[in-house]
Structure 1
Amino acid sequence: MVGLRGAGFIRGQGAVLTVILPLVLAGCGAKEAEQAQVRPVRVAPVTFKDAHAARSFTGTIVARTEVQAGFRVGGRIAARMVEVGDRVKPGQTLARLDPTDLELSLKAAEARLAQAEAQAVQTAADLKRYTPLLASGTVSQAQFDRVKAASDAAAAQKREASSTLSIARNQRAYGSLTLDQGGVITAVLADAGQMVGDGQTVLRIATDLGREVAIDVAEGDLARLSVGGTASVALWADGDIALAGTIREITPVADPASRTFRLRVTLPADAPDAVRLGMTARVSFPEADAAALALLPSSALFHQGDRPAVWVLAPSKDRVLLRPVEVAAFRPDGVAVKAGVKEGELVVTAGAHRLDANLPVRVWDGGLP
């Protein structure tokens, strides 16, 4: 009887465990499911500053004007007097062509002019003799007209020969390559003994008309820049050199490959000699609008209907609040926000499209879950 009662007790205990154990397991599963719904979020603090003023652009020191120098006549280069890096003065001879053919052309033009002058003298004398004969009726009007036409033609040929001689003299002078502007030789594209055509580039010269910085800016930054605006220029090679520049030119059309606009920033005329062509420079522009902006990652932006918004971590640190914001500009490095968030607030920067106001969250510390 005792054994039977013991067995019954054990069976009763088993029945109780059978009922309680699923309830306990169900409670543990619910707790784990509740914990699994807490979503980690990555956040970043909001910091207002003059985001535009911090923008800088990298450019290259270039000459304001660069001349592609070549002979105005073709021929064989007899001598080249300059090398790359030489500084030249206005009117200095840079290269010279073989003058043989030019001298022969000049002598031929002189001979043609002498012949035309002699012909003009002869026909003028004939016309002078025929004039009184026409008045006396010794010669006919037709004979006089032929003599006069010959005299007029000879005078025209003389003028033509004189112009041809002037051209030949100019061409002989063109055998010496000179420039009206001084500068620095940046490239040599032809050497002595080489045949060149008229207008073919022989030397490339950066003139002394000034130095500039050429930079490329995105279309999002172009709206706040204009010709005549000021800029600050610093050299990468020498951080102690700081120059004030002025925007001289903005190309009206974007580059088809990079979709950027080329700007030319003029450097002051008294720039030190350390500012050399080809150096890398950093150009920054002061922002006229002093309104502070908060630069947020593009991944933080969320849209509430047709309005931009961001998720802000609540003071309790376990919920997020959807906050509409006013975007000042979309930039390559993020979104510039003008209003809607406060200094020091934590904004969700990853997974903004998977959040909900009722969803528990926790700040991700960077570790594994």
Structure 2
Amino acid sequence: MAQTVIRVTLKGSLASQPLFCFTVRQLPIKQEADHVVRFKPFLFVMICCAWMLLGCGAPTGNEAHLESDPRAFSVETVTKRSIPRVYETPGTFVSDDRIQVASRLAAFIRSVDVREGQVVKRGDTLFRLDAADVEGAVRQAEAAAAQARSVFEDANADVGRFERLYETDSVAQTELRQVQLARDVARDKLRQAEAGVTTARSQRRYTTVTSPVSGVVIARHKQSGDLASPGQPIITLESQKAVLFDTYVAESVIRFINVGDLVELHVDALNDLAVTGEVLRIVPSGDVVTRRFQVKIAPGDEAGLLPGMFGRAAFRIGEDEALVLPNAAIALRGGLDGVFVVDTETRARFRMVRKGRQWQNRSEVIAGLQADETVILNPDASLRDGDRVIPKNDTHISDEAEDE
């Protein structure tokens, strides 16, 4: 029985060796017909596997390189530019008018008429005190004033009588002077008593305490029935019209910050709102533990800013020379940030970069690029390393980076 060896060789990375081979035996006509029917599916499967192996193989230098036609991309040449050196520090928006309302009297609190979060206007009643002691002091002062007035009137009448007697030489001059002196003492005591009445009556207005400013109640320290003591706060108010940004800066940068400097504030609670503020006050005494100095910034009349909001202040403390890359040139490949650099053969070469400071449209490049290299703008997902490109609109980075 004769045998025939069949070798299947496909042109590819393994062109010098057959991909597979098999032997066909010559059988009688009847058996041959049966085996031909069985052999055809097997042959089809083997040819398909051969084509799959050919597709996975890498082309050799002797094979023709298949690539797509070059596409046109906008490019830009990166250069070194002066960019602002920014010092960023967190802080909190606070009210510049924070008032702790206390009582001048020692008395029981009859009622507290406000709650936390309530908006009050100037002159609104905050709390009331028991006025029994104040009214008793007023009546006592008025009684003392009435008594002093009677003594003064009697002493004044005595002076009139003694003056008439002195004119007729009925009394000595010494007696007249004693009577006049007693009248003067009674007059002084009357004035003292009247001043006591005024002081006692003035305490009445402190039994009903009103708001000194328009603002919001942020704390209520006492309740009805508590004893109010002089100097102890009962209500804390904040004015929302005078809001400042309070932050602390390191001792190494405090010399670069001056009153009147413009500062960019970012408010996370308002969708990262950017607000331009002005340095209002710098406390020239640092904390002995943190070595930081307090700086207060006026954010202007920006709606929505409330005391207690978190923010970040960006101080411009100088300039640096650095490479600035447009964000449109950054491509994400394999989870890594990089750019496509156009080489001397007008091929796109992917290169990973490390970014530094960022602005709205541009980023600082710390590593991965050199000056005067050309990068592709807006690379699409189909662009691969080694593709040919046609550069167009080659421009240098403008001074926009400096303005940002």
Please report the TM-score for the alignment, with normalisation by the length of structure 2: 0.58
> SS at 2:316's partner residue?
coil
Give the number of equivalent residue pairs: 248
Q: More strand by proportion, 1 or 2?
A: 2
> Hey, what's the Cα distance between the residues in 1 that align with 2:163 and 2:275?
80
Offset of 1:209 from its aligned partner? Answer: 5.0
Query: 1:1-22 CA deviation, whole Å, 9 max, x = no partner?
Result: xxxxxxxxxxxxxxxxxxxxxx
The correspondence of residues 168-207 of structure 1 with structure 2, limited to 5 A, is 168-207=200-239
Q: Sort the Cα spacing of 1:149 and 1:209 in 2 relative to 1 into closer, same or farther, 3 A.
A: farther
Match of 1:285 among 282, 303, 315: 315
- Structure 1 counterpart of 2:83: 50
> Hey, what's the Cα distance between the residues in 2 that align with 1:145 and 1:212?
68
Query: 1:143-174 CA deviation, whole Å, 9 max, x = no partner?
Result: 21221111111110111011111111111111
- Structure 1 counterpart of 2:298: 266
Query: 1:242-280 CA deviation, whole Å, 9 max, x = no partner?
Result: 222111111111112211111101121x321x2111110
The correspondence of residues 206-217 of structure 1 with structure 2, limited to 5 A, is 206-217=238-249
> SS at 1:69's partner residue?
strand
Please state if 1:71 is matched with 2:100: no
The correspondence of residues 1-80 of structure 1 with structure 2, limited to 5 A, is 50=83, 52-53=85-86, 55-80=87-112
> SS at 1:129's partner residue?
helix
Alignment RMSD, CA only?
Answer: 2.2
> Hey, what's the Cα distance between the residues in 2 that align with 1:236 and 1:243?
11
- Structure 2 counterpart of 1:275: 305
Q: Is the 8 A contact 1:181 1:208 kept in 2?
A: no
> Hey, what's the Cα distance between the residues in 2 that align with 1:128 and 1:267?
74
Offset of 1:91 from its aligned partner? Answer: 1.8
Which contiguous aligned blocks of 4+ residues in structure 1 show a shift greater than 6 angstroms?
Answer: none
> SS at 1:237's partner residue?
helix
Match of 1:104 among 133, 136, 144: 136
> Hey, what's the Cα distance between the residues in 2 that align with 1:265 and 1:292?
29
Offset of 1:208 from its aligned partner? Answer: 4.6
- Structure 2 counterpart of 1:8: none
> Hey, what's the Cα distance between the residues in 2 that align with 1:83 and 1:72?
21
Over alpha carbons, which structure has the higher Rg? 2
- Structure 2 counterpart of 1:115: 147
Q: Is the 8 A contact 2:126 2:210 kept in 1?
A: yes
Please state if 1:81 is matched with 2:113: yes
> SS at 1:254's partner residue?
coil
Offset of 1:178 from its aligned partner? Answer: 2.2
> Hey, what's the Cα distance between the residues in 1 that align with 2:139 and 2:92?
51
Q: Is the 8 A contact 1:232 1:284 kept in 2?
A: yes
Letter in 2 for 1:85: G
Q: Sort the Cα spacing of 1:208 and 1:147 in 2 relative to 1 into closer, same or farther, 3 A.
A: farther
Which runs of 5 or more structure 2 residues have no equivalent in the other structure? 1-79, 324-368, 372-404
Letter in 2 for 1:286: R
Letter in 2 for 1:52: R
- Structure 1 counterpart of 2:156: 124
Q: Is the 8 A contact 1:210 1:267 kept in 2?
A: no
Q: Is the 8 A contact 1:51 1:293 kept in 2?
A: no
Q: Is the 8 A contact 1:234 1:281 kept in 2?
A: yes
Seq. identity, %: 27
Query: 1:278-332 CA deviation, whole Å, 9 max, x = no partner?
Result: 1101111234x444369xxxxxxxxxxxxxxxxxxxxxxxxxxxxxxxxxxxxxx
Match of 1:147 among 143, 159, 179: 179
> Hey, what's the Cα distance between the residues in 2 that align with 1:216 and 1:94?
34
- Structure 2 counterpart of 1:167: 199
Q: Is the 8 A contact 2:264 2:275 kept in 1?
A: yes
